[in-house]
Structure 1
Amino acid sequence: MPPRVNPTLRQCRFGTELRRMRERAGFGGSELGRLVGMNPAQVTQMESGRIGISADRLRTIAAACNCANRPMVDALADIIAERGRGWWEEYREVLTTDFLEVAEVEHHAKTLTTCTTTYIPGLLQTGSYASAVFARVYPPLPRKDIDVRTAFRVQRQQVVRTGKIPLRAFIHEAALRMQFGGPRVLADQLDALIGDSADKGISIRVVPFDVDTFPGAGENVTLAQGPVPELDTVQMDTSSGTLFFDAPADLAKHRSIFDRVDSAALSEDESRDFIRSIKKEVEAKYA
C-alpha cells in the first residue's frame, strides 16, 4: 500500500507515540528497523503517520523497545483497529484542516475540559451566536462560508449533546459579556447555557472578574483526555488557527492550569445564578 499523502492528526499522533517509544529505548530508526524487520525508510514513514502497521507489529515494536506500559500499547492497538471515516470527512473539500482535526480530537476523547476567555465554548454555542462569531472574521467571509462553518460547529456538538462525552466548561466572565451579533443573540446564548448547565453530562463553571489572579491561559484552551494520560491532547485556539500539543511537558502544564482554574471557579449552582444575573442585565440594558 502506498504511503498516505495527507495523514490525519490521529494517524500522526500514533506515529509520534511510536517515535517516543523508540527514543525512550535509546534506539535510532535504523537500529529499531533491524530489530523488527523494517528498513529505515519504513520506520520514518511509520513515525510520520504515512504508513500504518498491524497490531502484531505494534506489539513487536513495544517488546523490542522494552515498553511495559500495557494500557498504552492496548490504546494504540485500538487506534489500529479503527475503521471507517468520521462524519467530518464530508467537509474536507470545503473547510480547512483545522476544523476537521478539532472534530476528530473531540470524537475520540473520553472527556473534554475547556477554558474560554473571549467567547462561549464552541460546543455550547447557539447557531446564531456561532454565526455571529464567524461573521466578525477579517477579511469578511462570504455568507455561504459562514453558514458552512456554523453548520459544522453545531454538528460537532453532538459529542456532548448525546451524552457520549462528558464536558467540563470553565467560562471567564469576559466571555459571558462579550457580544457577538448583538444583545438579543447574547441573551439567547446565556439562556441556552443555563439550560445546558442542567445537563448531567455538562458542567459549567464561571470564573468571575473579581478572582484575584486569573489562573488560566490567555487563550481558549481545551484538554481532550484519551484512554490513557499519554494520549491526552491540548487544543489551543489562536487568531492564526488551531494549535495542538501532546508533548508530556505541555500536557502536564495544562493539567496544572486546569487544576488552578477549578480551584478558582464558582460552583455549578453559583455559576448558573451568575449567568442568570448577566442575562437579566443584558435584557434590562438593551430592552
Structure 2
Amino acid sequence: MLTGSTLARRALGRELKRLREAKGLFQSQGGKLIGVSPQTIGRLEDGLPTKVSDLYMNVLCDGYEATADERSAILELAQEVRATQKSGGGWWRAYADELNTGFDHLLGLEEAARKLSIWRNRLVPGLLQTPAYRRTIAWTESPNMPTAQVDKRVEMNSSRQNRLHDPKFTMDILLWECVLRDQVGGPGVMEDQLNSLAAASERPNLSIRVVPFTASAHRGSLVESFTLLEFPKLAATGMIEPPVVFVECLTGDLYLERATEVQRYRDTFAEIARIAWDRDTSRQFILSIAKEYGAQ
C-alpha cells in the first residue's frame, strides 16, 4: 500500500537537497540543470507539489553525481509520488474549498503517519470530535457561516476519522481536565462527546489519558497543544521519514522537524504522560463528568 504522496515527496525532497549540498551547489544552480527557478527547486526540496518526471530526476542525478543506488532511490520515490497523484491524491481533495491554508499538509502527514502522540489543553482532538462538537466549533469560529458550509466541514471531519479503523495506526492522547470541563455546545453536546471519548478509549490502538487539575506542575501548562507524528518505512526505499511536530497557534500553525526541536517536544510529552492517570482511571473519570453533564 502506498504511504501517500506527502510522505514520498518529503523523502524525495530531502534526498535531492542532500545530494545538491554534497555537490556544493546552490538551488539556482540546481534549477539551471532542468530549466526551472530556484523557487521551484526549493518547493521540490521542501516536499511541496511540483513536477517530478523521470527526465527531471535523471538530469538532477547527473548534475549532482548521484551513485547508482542513490539514483534508483530517487526514481522509485518519484514513481511513488506520481502513482499517488494519478489516483487522485488524498480523500480530502474533495473538501479543498473548506481547508484552511496549510491544513491539507497536516491531513497528508496524518494519513501517512503510523503513530500520533497528542497533547491537548483545550479542545478534543479533531480525530475524536463528534459531529455536534465539531459543528459548534465551526460556528464559534465563524458565526455567519452558511449551514451548508458547516455541514461540509462536519462531513470532512467524519471522513478524517476513518483513519482510526486502521489497526496499524496508533494514537497516544493526553487531555488536560480543562478539555472535559469546557462546555463546547452546552451540556448535551458535552455528554455525547465525553461518552464518545470513553468508547474510543476502548479501541486497542488508542490510549486516552487525563491530566487532572490536581496534578503536580508540569510542562503541559507552559506549551500549546501539539501533535508528534511518526511515520512507517516508505514502500519504495525502506527509508523512514523523521518525525514532525505540529503545534497549534492562534497566529499560525507550526511544523517542526529539526531533531533538537522534536526531541524537546518528545521529552515534554513523556513528562506530561508521567503524571497523567492510567487508561482505566481516565475512562471512569470521563464517564463521571459525562454523567454530570447528563444531570444538568
TM-score clears 0.5: yes
Contact 1:230 1:248 (8 Å CA) reproduced: no
Contact 2:8 2:77 (8 Å CA) reproduced: no
Counterparts of 2:248 and 2:66, CA distance in 1: 35
Contact 2:201 2:283 (8 Å CA) reproduced: yes
Q: State the SS of the aligned residue for 1:210.
A: coil
Contact 1:12 1:47 (8 Å CA) reproduced: no
Counterparts of 1:152 and 1:175, CA distance in 2: 22
Q: Which residue of 1 aligns with 2:232?
A: 227
- Aligned pair partner of 2:146 in 142, 161, 169: 142
Counterparts of 2:294 and 2:76, CA distance in 1: 49
Amino acid at match of 2:33: M
Alpha carbons of structure 1 residues 279 and 93: separation in structure 2 relative to 1, 3 Å: closer
Amino acid at match of 2:139: A
Amino acid at match of 1:156: R
Structure 1 segments, 4+ long, off by >6 Å, are 72-75
Amino acid at match of 1:245: L
Contact 1:120 1:175 (8 Å CA) reproduced: yes
The Cα of 1:205 is off from its aligned counterpart by: 1.0
For residues 100-111 of structure 1, the aligned pairs below 5 Å read: 100-111=104-115
1:173-200 Cα shifts (integer Å, max 9, x gaps): 0001111110011011111111111110
Q: State the SS of the aligned residue for 2:172.
A: strand
In the alignment, structure 2 segments of 5+ residues that lack a partner are 45-49, 234-239
Q: Which residue of 2 aligns with 1:90?
A: 94
1:53-78 Cα shifts (integer Å, max 9, x gaps): 549759958x9579x99xx9899568
Contact 1:29 1:40 (8 Å CA) reproduced: no
Counterparts of 1:87 and 1:57, CA distance in 2: 31
The Cα of 1:212 is off from its aligned counterpart by: 1.4
The Cα of 1:208 is off from its aligned counterpart by: 1.0
For residues 14-93 of structure 1, the aligned pairs below 5 Å read: 14=11, 16-18=13-15, 21-22=18-19, 25=22, 27-29=24-26, 33=30, 38-39=33-34, 41=36, 45-49=40-44, 50-52=50-52, 54=54, 57=58, 60=61, 64=65, 79-80=80-81, 82-83=83-84, 84=87, 85-93=89-97
Contact 1:12 1:48 (8 Å CA) reproduced: no
In the alignment, structure 1 segments of 5+ residues that lack a partner are 1-7
Amino acid at match of 2:10: R
- Aligned pair partner of 1:214 in 194, 213, 218: 218
Contact 2:227 2:245 (8 Å CA) reproduced: yes
Counterparts of 1:11 and 1:93, CA distance in 2: 24
Alpha carbons of structure 1 residues 152 and 86: separation in structure 2 relative to 1, 3 Å: same
User: Larger relative contact order (C-alpha < 8 A, sep ≥ 6)?
Assistant: 2
Amino acid at match of 1:225: E
State the TM-score, normalizing by the size of structure 2: 0.77
Contact 2:34 2:59 (8 Å CA) reproduced: no
Q: Which residue of 2 aligns with 1:179?
A: 183
1:262-284 Cα shifts (integer Å, max 9, x gaps): 21211111111221222222233
Contact 2:227 2:246 (8 Å CA) reproduced: yes
The Cα of 1:133 is off from its aligned counterpart by: 1.4
Contact 1:170 1:204 (8 Å CA) reproduced: yes
Counterparts of 1:86 and 1:131, CA distance in 2: 23
Amino acid at match of 2:104: L
RMSD between superposed Cα atoms in Å = 3.6
State the TM-score, normalizing by the size of structure 1: 0.79
Identify the range of structure 1 (222-231 vs 168-177) with the bigger mean alpha-carbon deviation: 222-231
Structure 2 residue 96 is the aligned partner of structure 1 residue 113: no
The Cα of 1:19 is off from its aligned counterpart by: 6.1
